[in-house]
Chain A
Amino acid sequence: MSTRTIEIMVGLFVAAGIAALFMLAMKVSNLATYGGDEGYIISASFDNIGGLKVRSLVSASGVRVGQVTGIEYDSDGYEARVTMSIDPQYDKFPTDTAASIMTSGLLGEQYVGLQPGAEEEYLKAGSEVELTQSALVLEQIIGQFLYNMAEEK
């Protein structure tokens, strides 16, 4: 086989490999939605975060607006402190926005849901969300339910 044909085939092979990488990056990974570094950071404290993890979704009205960037335990306030990076195009959350930890589906992943309030001023980098609602822990609910059942009898 001539050198030219071999070189063309190798060129095709390398191009196909790079195209495959590109397709995987664009089509099935989060490259297109990668705003993690440029977003502004806000934080919120929760009594209980349930199964929330770093890189969990932050959404408002069901639309992805950012992601969780850090979770740590605040030993002064005895609370879990969640930092979130919000994509820069969503910069109009009023300062009385409420953050609650919700579950997608019955057993699905947990995410932070933001419900905008009515204030005139908006959250900016470093702001803290004051109104928070903890995760619903299934075991606690079942425990309460059983306890109530026993009391009624």
Chain B
Amino acid sequence: MMLLFDKLQSLGHSSLTSLQRLGRGHVFLMQVLPAMEGMLFRPGLLIRQMYSVGVLTLLIIVVAGLFVGMVMALQSYYALVDFGAEDSVSVMVVLSLLRELGPVVTALLFAGRAGSALTAEIGLMKATEQLSGMEMMAVNPIERVIAPRFLAGFLSMPLLAAIFSAVGVMGGYLVAVELLGLDAGAFWSQAVSNVDLYHDLGNGMIKSAVFGFVVVWIAVFEGYDCVPTSDGLGKATTRTVVHSSLAVLGLDFVLTALMFSE
């Protein structure tokens, strides 16, 4: 009997803790969003964060995009050549990049590269009491530290996703035209006649903006909310990557169902 109550208690405790964290996350977001206006007066803060969040993530995005595009072209070529439809390789590559792979893979890489770095940086600031120090000097750490990182991540994600897709298309072009010897004119014209500006490119960009918002929200919240010890910091960084990847994949399903159901 006692054992049952113990189990029930631990279940209740963990549900309450997760609910509390969820609530704190939303309260935190409500504090960050109004603090955005401070950025109007100090754009330098934003530029510096765009560098560490966006520019430094560029390399992995470009390399991943190139290879994803190349593999997509190869795989769809092998599948389509049996039906004599190898001219549609470009449609396959471009549509899957714009609709799914561009936003999703970019968000996953972004969570791993930029999200974890954000959590670790903010968490260490908290552990070394830099955030409390700022408050002592009447500087709002949310306005000075969190808001620029948040906005930088949110702005960088769609740009990174666009670069990923563009590089992926070029990778697909390299494989399809240069390696497999398909016709370059058919490659582009098939893509143009099957890809819609708003329906495919536009929705892909909306997706990437939503993913950017969620990933960067989780990342800065985990850093700001972490237990300020080396152990807590490690756990917070892990949680950032795991939670934001899961959130991206789950949201992707919801967004796809909303956007592409006709």
Q: Give A contacts to B, CB under 8 Å.
A: 3, 6-7, 9-10, 12-14, 16-21, 23-25, 27-34, 55, 57, 64
Contact = CB atoms under 8 A, between A and B. Distances in A.
A24 B166 contact: yes
Interface string B81-110: 000000000100010001000000000000
A17 B106 CA distance: 13
B195 A29 contact: yes
Nearest to B49: A10
Residue from the set A10, A19, A23 with the largest chain B CB neighbour count within 10 Å: A10
A23 B94 CA distance: 12
Residue from the set A17, A19, A24 with the largest chain B CB neighbour count within 10 Å: A24
5 contacts: A16-B163, A27-B188, A28-B169, A28-B188, A29-B197
A-B pairs, 5 with minimum CB distance: A17-B159, A20-B166, A20-B162, A28-B191, A21-B162
B226 to A, nearest CB: 27
Given A6-B47, A30-B193, A55-B196, A25 B166 contact: no
Nearest to A109: B194
Interface residues of B, number: 31
A29 B90 CA distance: 12
Contacts of B222: none
Chain A, interface SS category: helix
Given A28-B169, A30-B193, 11 more contacts: A7-B47, A10-B50, A14-B159, A17-B160, A17-B163, A18-B162, A20-B166, A23-B166, A24-B169, A28-B192, A31-B197
